[in-house]
Structure 1
Amino acid sequence: MIHPDLMVSNNLIEEFKVCTRLQYSGKLDIRTAKGDRWAFYYRLGRIVWATGGKHPFRRWRRNMAQFCPDIDVEKIQLQPSDAEIDYWDYRLLETLHDRQKVRREQINSIVESTITELLFDLAQSTNFNPITCDRNQDVILETPMSFTSADMSLKYMQDTWKNWSEAGLANFLPDSAPILRRPEQLQQQVSPAVYKNFVVLMNGKYTLRDLAFRMKQGILPVTRSLLPYILKGIIELIEVPDIPLRISEVKKNSATPIKSTPSGPLIACVDDSPQVTQMLEQILAPNGFRFIKIQDPLQALPILIEHKPDLIFLDLVMPVASGYEICAQLRRVSVFTHTPIIILTGSDGLLDRVRAKVVGSTDFISKPVAADKVMGVVRKYITVPASGLNRTNQQATAMG
């Protein structure tokens, strides 16, 4: 019997923790002696994508069907050049996002699901096989579309693996497919309706994960419900091949360009207060600036990397991630090396100013925000659009 407290390899857990602690950017390659392989792509200590496993194409199809049901996966075809790289699935997400076929929230869900599935497979494999871990900075995903906390993912990995092993399933692979071997014996034990479903679904074509998706249930209850039939030999779990996508000449640069607002420089505000972001927008938009408001600090980095604003207003005190942390992370990204980062603070204390300077902020303004303060600091670091200048001159003339 498998002990319910089977633990994930300590050196594997430690390797993930080191990547987080070092705020590592690059690829973490993990291999077993049997030849199984996984790759986790990091950006600033967070996991942004993962590849590997036995069925990458089946996994892609399931995730697309679940989170992007409007897209016909069978019409998606890989370029020959993309098919040769490990992160072809990430490239496809980029292409679909460029074409405005998928939203960022959908991508976040696909990333989370992919990482969760691969971490489980990794936990299962490392309980029976020695592993090697190598960090490789040859591949760094420069504009990640989603960031995942490695610590939270590891905790979830350990919990799901413990639940799986406690259910007596430690030796059962989620990528194996059930096939009905003794239909007559099954027919004697279940109702006609259940038997009909078994005949349709237990045909060796659908993996346990595929079945869980089709039945809209978790993989643990689905597999546990099949366990009595597997132990009696009525159902057998077999290995099945992956189902690759077709190869064609789909070119990423043929994507429909996103329509951008034909206006001035782009300014972003990261602040969990809707009142502050709304007030800044009301000040900046009439002066010819484009504006992005980000109220979830955990989503700040990927959104900022995607849009590359000309100036960033950053709240100092926010839940989960503080302005100090976000500012320090931004300065590690090459595109933001010289971007003005203006700290918003309610205290305006000397200690706050010193600490903010240490992590790379450009300037400070205190709350509550006022139009003259905002426009003063904006004019100091970027050029105000002509339309904004004309509007200001008109207002001055009217006042005179």
Structure 2
Amino acid sequence: MKNLGTFTKLRPPSLLRHLTNASENVFLQAFSQSINWTIYIENGKIIYATHSVEPFDRLERHLRRLSYQVPTLDKEVRAQVRLKFESDTHIPPLMHPEYEAISWLLNEKYLQPTQAALIIQELVKEVIESFILVKEGKYELSLFDGRVPVLSKLSIDKLLVYSQERLQHWRSFAPQITSPFQRPYLLMKADGNHGNLPGIQQKLANWMKGFSLRHLAVIMNQDEVQLTHSLYPYILNGSILLHEPDPPFDKLPKTFDERLKAQIYHHQLNKYQVVDIKELHNKVTPINNVILPITNLVATEEEVQIPPSREENIKYSTTATKPSHNSRKGKPAKNTGKKNYTIVSVDDSPTFLKEISRFLEDENFSVVTINDPVKAVMLIIRYKPDLILLDLHMEGIDGYELCRIIRNNSMFKKTPIIMVTGSKGIVDKVKARLVGASGYLTKPFTRADLLKMVFMHLT
């Protein structure tokens, strides 16, 4: 079986509903706007879904959210998962690397079966939510042989109902908000204050510089729609500015059609409509119990091959992460009474160091750049950074040796060290791990790639 087609007229929800009657193991591949969606269906139930836009960023977010409840999923384990499974090699046709990573976490006892099923469920929900927004594209249906270890089976009908209801909540924020990957910034007044924003927590304000709404929700351990709901009045009155998503997240479908957005603005301008911010704020209905229990979507526990559990769901705590504070590049932070994160970047290329400073200049970090690797150790001891970016290939001393020296100092046993290199080889990644690296960043990388690493290791 191999079917090809387009959904210029056939909507993705209709295509998925059609597959609920499939008695074979089918995987659906859809292509639209340079994005590839892959959905695995066994006997009419979805066992996994992914798309090509930053799948390991998606996995990291959901593992991090679960880590508030499951201490074994600490940042060291999550970094190990990324180093072990995220690569640029060919993706096996029946097992995506992030799915292999979840299976490994289960086998190594970092996750219980119900927790692994929950992670699969949350990943699938996010992917389906974006998939049903696709307007035009091509698809291909193929059979797979069923050798994939099944961690969860999800009802297509219930997933579609959930995703469509979720999108309705997002559309209630239109036309101001069209994507959960838009990035909010507080509008700074001339006196340096944020203005009268009593409803915004200081911790959230400190992180509202560069992270998307979706990433902020994970940092704050809140539901993303509820977080957006709390920020919405300030977006309406201009106290918070929204930037468009960073690449590659800008390729994902919008929750609200841009053509409708233009029509609404035109309509409002023509009528000189005065917007009652409080009234609009009240129209956004808060969501309760947005994380559906596994049993709401899973067919049966026997089908899923998960031991019976009396827990309806894993409830997340409300513990927030540590705040940070702005400072100028290359200078120690002023003592403001709040935590300021210091990042040291070691590279013998002044051009690269300028690029790092440019990427982080508007963020809540103190950035120290070092272009002489021989002097790096003493300067690192002086500045005591919270995170170190370390180039692998430098004159005088390479990154491997420098990482080993830093790790031998008891002050930096737990400090995240991110290796930076132009090489994509798996050997370099393995060697980096052996000398104690926490992560790996391949040149050239984007600002979003860098912030993702910082988000992963500092928050």
Name the TM tier (shorter chain). 0.5 to 0.7
Residues 340-384 of structure 1 show CA distances to partners (whole Å, capped at 9, x for unaligned) of: xxxxxxxxxxxxxxxxxxxxxxxxxxxxxxxxxxxxxxxxxxxxx
Q: Residues 155-304 of structure 1: matches in 2 within 5 Å?
A: 155-168=161-174, 171-184=177-190, 187-191=194-198, 194=200, 196-204=202-210, 206-231=211-236, 232=238, 234-240=240-246, 298-303=300-305
- Conserved 8 A contact 1:55-1:241: no
Q: CA deviation at 1:64?
A: 1.1
Q: Distance in 1 between matches of 2:158 and 2:176?
A: 22
Q: Residues of 1 paired with 2:9 and 2:177: CA distance?
A: 17
- Say whether 1:118 aligns with 2:117: no
Shift of 1:201: 1.2
Deviation at 1:65, TM superposition (A): 1.7
Kept in 2: contact 1:164–1:170 (CA 8 A):
no
Q: What aligned pairs does 1:1-400 form with structure 2 within 5 A after superposition?
A: 11-32=11-32, 34-52=33-51, 54-68=53-67, 69=70, 70-71=72-73, 72-76=77-81, 77-79=83-85, 84-85=90-91, 87-123=96-132, 125-126=133-134, 129-138=135-144, 140-168=146-174, 171-184=177-190, 187-191=194-198, 194=200, 196-204=202-210, 206-231=211-236, 232=238, 234-240=240-246, 298-303=300-305
Higher helix proportion (structure 1 or 2): 1
Q: 1:114 is aligned with what amino acid?
A: L
Q: For 2:41, what is the secondary structure of its paired residue?
A: strand
The one-letter amino acid of 1:155's match is: V
Q: Compare 90-99 and 147-156 and name the one that shifted more.
A: 90-99
Which amino acid is the alignment partner of residue 162 of structure 2? Y
**Structure-2 separation of matches of 1:92 and 1:242:** 22
* Residue type at the aligned position of 1:299: E
**What is the Cα deviation at residue 229 of structure 1?**
3.5
Q: How far has the Cα of 1:107 moved from its partner? A: 0.9
Residues 56 and 242 of structure 1 are in contact (CA less than 8 Å); yes or no, is this contact kept in structure 2? Answer: no
> The residue matched to 1:14 in structure 2 has which SS?
helix
Tell me how far apart the structure 1 counterparts of residues 60 and 110 of structure 2 sit (CA, whole Å): 16
Q: CA deviation at 1:53?
A: 5.3
Deviation sequence 1:116-165 (CA, Å, 0-9, x none): 11122223x42xx4132321225755321111111110111111112221
Q: Distance in 2 between matches of 1:183 and 1:37?
A: 43
Alpha-carbon contact 2:45-2:154 (below 8 Å) kept: yes
Q: Describe the SS at the equivalent of 2:27.
A: strand
Counterpart amino acid of residue 188 in structure 1: G
Runs in 1 of length 4+ with deviation above 6 angstroms?
none
What is the CA–CA distance in structure 1 between the aligned matches of 2:55 and 2:120, rounded to whole Å? 13
**CA distance in structure 2 between the partners assigned to 1:183 and 1:75 by the alignment:** 42
SS of the residue 1:15 aligns to: helix
Residues 209 and 183 of structure 1: CA distance in aligned 2, closer, same or farther (over 3 Å):
farther
Q: Which residue of 2 aligns with 1:254?
A: none
Q: 1:302 to 1:134 in 2, by over 3 A?
A: same
Higher mean C-alpha displacement, 88-97 vs 53-62: 53-62
Aligned equivalents of 1:174 and 1:81: distance in 2? 26
> Taking structure 1 as reference, are residues 12 and 194 closer, same or farther at Cα in structure 2, changes over 3 Å only?
closer
Cα separation, partners in 2 of 1:162 and 1:170, compared to 1, 3 Å: farther
Q: Whose Rg is larger?
A: 1
Q: d(CA) in 1 for partners of 2:240 and 2:193?
A: 7
Distance 1:165 1:81 in 2: 35
Gaps of 5+ in 2: 1-7, 250-297, 308-459
Equivalence for 1:332: none
| Per-residue deviation, 1:61 | 1.0
Inter-partner Cα distance in structure 1 for 2:185 and 2:208: 5
Q: Is the 8 A contact 2:182 2:242 kept in 1?
A: no
Say which SS state the counterpart of residue 188 (structure 1) adopts: coil
Amino acid at match of 1:225: S
Deviation at 1:196, TM superposition (A): 4.0
Please state how far the C-alpha of 1:173 moved relative to its aligned partner: 1.1
Alpha carbons 2:200, 2:231 under 8 Å: kept? no
Q: Distance in 2 between matches of 1:109 and 1:82?
A: 27
Normalising to structure 2: TM-score of the pair?
0.46
Instruction: Name the SS of the counterpart of 1:187 in structure 2.
Output: coil
In structure 1, the residue matched to 2:295 is none
- In structure 2, C-alpha distance between the alignment counterparts of 1:94 and 1:82, rounded to whole Å: 20
Offset at residue 16 of structure 1 (A) = 0.5
- Partners of 2:171 and 2:110 in 1: CA distance: 39
Give 1:188 deviation, angstroms: 2.3
The code of the aligned residue for 2:242 comes to E
SS where residue 152 of structure 2 aligns? coil
Contact 1:42 1:48 in 2 (8 A): yes
Shift of 1:51: 0.9
Q: Name structure 1 gaps, 5 residues minimum.
A: 1-7, 244-295, 307-400
Is the 8 Å Cα contact of residues 62 and 213 (structure 1) preserved in structure 2? yes
Q: Does structure 2 retain, via aligned residues, the 8 Å contact 1:180–1:235? A: yes
Task: Give the partner amino acid of 1:189.
Answer: N
Count of residue pairs the alignment pairs up? 240
Change in Cα spacing, 1:239 to 1:11, as seen in structure 2 (3 Å) is: closer
Cα 1:165–1:106, aligned 2, differ >3 Å: closer, same or farther? same
Give the RMSD, CA atoms, in angstroms.
3.3
Letter in 2 for 1:300: E
Cα 1:163–1:24 change in 2 (3 A) is farther
Cα deviations across residues 8-31 of structure 1 (Å, max 9, x unaligned)? 985312211121112341311122
